[in-house]
Amino acid sequence: MGLLDGKFAIVTGAASPRGLGKATAMMFAEHGATVAILDLDAAQAQAAAADLPGEGHIGLACNVTDKAACQAAADACVEKWGAVDILVNNAGITQPLKIMEIEPGNYDAVTDVNLRGTLYMTQALIPHFRERKTGAVVNLSSVSAQRGGGIFGGPHYSAAKAGVLGLTKAMARELAPDGVRVNALCPGFIATDITAGKLTEEMRASVLAGIPMGRAGTAEDVAGCALFLASDLSSYCTGTEVDVNGGSLI
């Protein structure tokens, strides 16, 4: 028996083959969920959905910064499946800039995908969740929000991911009476395309020295925590943030 048997889940930004979204979609499907992979490119989203075990998965083009596109994707899933139980707001981008290097366009791009996209995609499903009196939302924040910096992000990324934490708590408070739970994940240094090839050996050694567990996280390390927050195992958790960082904040 899977933890998500009979559940329908949407995961945004899940077409990247080595990404956290794809690993999460895979783990959800292995636990019995039917999954929709949303990403910028329809063909890539469909290819990623075709990799998942089980039947009924779909891949859809959806730019999460476009409110109408979020609504169209949510509606398409409800129409096809009859219900959506879980939303993982995973789509995100980083820009490794310092404070004075951030131009208005940089700020807009990073906050639009990470923060505005999380709001828009969740808004698209709230009426449906409210109607069914159930729903689990998992938002991807970051250790960059908690410690004010990261190697890859940049201050605007830290700010956007801190915004995701605030949004998570506010949405959790407002939606709790409707039976909808909203939680956040704060991954640390995870080996994905966002981090691949961006570190010299020296930088890598210095990053690992700050991680008590002494290794980078894997996409599956994060997916396991997303599974916990999406499933009934976390039925009394809302507005929480789960750290997935090998002890980086101890």
Of 7-15, 28-36, 123-131, 198-206, the window that binds ligand NAD (rule: CB under 6 A) is 7-15
C-beta of 130 vs 224, nearer to ligand NAD = 224
In angstroms, give the least distance from the CB of 96 to ligand NAD.
12
Q: Which residues contact 201 (CB under 8 A, 6 or more apart)?
A: none
**Residues 122-181 close enough to bind ligand NAD by CB under 6 A:** 140, 142
Residues 56-95, one symbol each (x = binds ligand NAD by CB under 6 A, - = not), give ------xxxx------------------------xxxx--
Least Å distance between CB 247 and ligand NAD?
A: 15
DSSP string, 17-46: TTSHHHHHHHHHHHTT-EEEEEES-HHHHH
Mark whether 120 is an active-site residue: no
Tokens 């995100």, residue located: 92
State in Å, rounded, how far the first CA of the chain is from the last one.
35
From candidates 4, 16, 57, 238, binder to ligand NAD by CB under 6 A: 16
20 binds ligand NAD (CB under 6 A): yes
- Count of chain residues binding ligand NAD (CB under 6 A): 28
Residue 180 vs 223, nearer CB to ligand NAD? 223
Question: What are the Cα distances from residue 60, in Å, to 31, 99, 189?
Answer: 21, 35, 28
CB of 46 to ligand NAD, least distance (A): 13
> Phi then psi for 68, rounded to 5 degrees?
-65, -35
Name which of 134 and 218 has its Cβ closer to ligand NAD: 218
Q: Among residues 113, 124, 136, 226, which is the contact residue for ligand NAD, using CB under 6 A? A: 113
Catalytic positions: 157
List residues near ligand NAD by CB under 6 A: 12-13, 15-16, 19-21, 39-40, 62-65, 90-93, 113, 117, 140, 142, 187, 189-190, 192-195
